[in-house]
Amino acid sequence: MSSHCSPFGVERGFIMRQSVQEMIAQSKGKKNKQFVEKMIPVILFLIASVSVLTTIGIMLTLIFETITFFTRVSITDFLFGTTWLPFSNKEAQYGILPLIVGTLKVTLIAILVAVPIGISAAIYLSDYASENVRRVLKPLLEVLAGIPTIVYGFFALTFVTPLLQSAFPDIKIFNAISPGIVVGIMIIPMIASLSEDAMSSVPKSIREGALAMGSTKFEVAWKITVPAALSGIVASVVLAISRAIGETMIVSLAAGSTPKFDGDFTGSIQTMTAYIVQVSKGDAGYGTTIYYSIYAVGFTLFIFTMIMNIVANYVSKRFREEY
C-alpha cells in the first residue's frame, strides 16, 4: 500500500510528535490570535456604523445648509410662496409650492398608471398563473426595475411624448403626463413584486377553503387574498410613491424646467428633483443663495420620502394579518 492511500499515517506521525493538548495550549498562547479575535468585532462594528454615519451625514448636511438658506430667505416665503423664480434678475423668489405641485403631478400620473397594472399583475401572478408561468413572468417584470432611470428618461422624451402629441396635439414637448406615465412604468415592478410577496404569504388553506365552498378564482382573489394581503399591498404602493417622488432623471429629461403653481398637466413643469439637477448642471457658484436653495429643496424632498417610508413601515407592521 502506498503512502498516498493512507492519509492517516501522516497525521498519526504528526500527532506523535505533538499532542493535541499541547497544540491547543500553544494556540491559546498566541497573543496575536487573541488580539485578532478581540479586534474583529470592533472593526466590524465600525464598518456597520458607516451606514448610520451616512444617515447622520445626510441629515446634518441638509439641516446646516438649509439653515444657511433660511438666513437669506424667509421660511414662510419658502413654505407658502407660490412663485419659484431663483434665476430672476430683479428679485429672486423662493416659494417651494410650485416645485411640490410639479412633483405631485408626476407622482399622481405615475400612481394612476402603476397601481392598477401593478396590483393586477400581482393578483395574476399569485392567484392565476401556474408555477411555470410565474417563474418566467416575475423575473421579466423585474427586468423593468433594473433599467437605469436615464434610459426611461430617454424613452419618455423620444417615444412617449411624441406618441402623446400625435394623439393629443395640445401636449407640449415638455409636460407632466409623459414622464408621469414612464415613472409609472418604472414603479410597476416594485408594486407588483412587493404585493405579490404579500399575497403569496396568505396561507393556501384559506384560499382552498374558499375554492371548496364554490368560489371562483376571482372571488378568492378579491375577497380573500387581497383583503388578507392589504397591508402589504398598501405598503408597496406607499413605497412606490416615495420612489416616484424621488425620481430624478425621467423628470429632468421629459418634464421641463418651468415651476408652475397650477393644475395644468400638458405643459412644462418642474419637480423638486429636476430643480436640483438644473442648478447642479449650471455653475451656481458656491455660497450663492441658489447654491443653498438646492439643499432646502433636497431637505423638503428628503422629508417627503422619509414620511412615505415611515408610513409604509407602519402600515405593513401595524395592519399585518397574522395567520
Interacting positions 161-220 with another protein (CB under 8 A): 185, 188-189, 192, 214, 216-219
User: Is the Cβ of residue 18 or residue 80 nearer to another protein in the bound state?
Assistant: 18
Binding mask 54-73 for another protein (x = CB under 8 A): xx-xx--xx--x--------
**Minimum CB distance to another protein smaller for 95 or for 153:** 153
> Considering only 1-9, 29-37, 81-89, 259-267, which stretch makes contact with another protein by CB under 8 A?
29-37
C-beta of 289: minimal distance to another protein in Å?
Answer: 16
- Residue nearer to another protein on the CB measure, 100 or 308: 308
Total binding residues for another protein by CB under 8 A? 85
Please name the residues in contact with 68: beta carbons below 8 A apart, sequence gap of 6 or more.
292, 295
Task: Pick out residues in 82-141 that bind another protein (CB under 8 A).
Answer: 116-118, 120-121, 123-125, 128, 137, 140-141
Of 187, 34, 212, nearest to 106 (Cα)? 187
Looking only at the bridges linking them, the beta strands covering 84-85 and 93-94 are: antiparallel
246 binds another protein (CB under 8 A): yes
Identify which of residues 80 and 218 has a Cβ nearer to another protein in the complex: 218
Q: How far is the CB of 222 from another protein (least distance, A)?
A: 8
Measured CA to CA in angstroms, residue 19 lies from 8, 97, 301 at distances of 15, 78, 66
Cβ pair 107, 245 in contact under 8 A: yes
Nearest partner of 183 among 121, 99, 242, judged by Cα:
242
Which residue among 78, 84, 94, 302 contacts another protein (CB under 8 A)?
302
Among positions 69, 78, 84, 155, the unique one binding another protein when judged by CB under 8 A: 155
Q: Which of 280, 314, 317, 319 is in the footprint of another protein by CB under 8 A?
A: 280
Assigned C-alpha cell, 32:
496575536
**Of residues 153, 179, 256, 259, which one binds another protein by CB under 8 A?**
153
Computed over its alpha carbons, how large is the radius of gyration of the chain?
Answer: 29
- DSSP output for 180-243: HHHHHHHHHHHHHHHHHHHHHTS-HHHHHHHHHTT--HHHHIIIIIHHHTHHHHHHHHHHHHHH
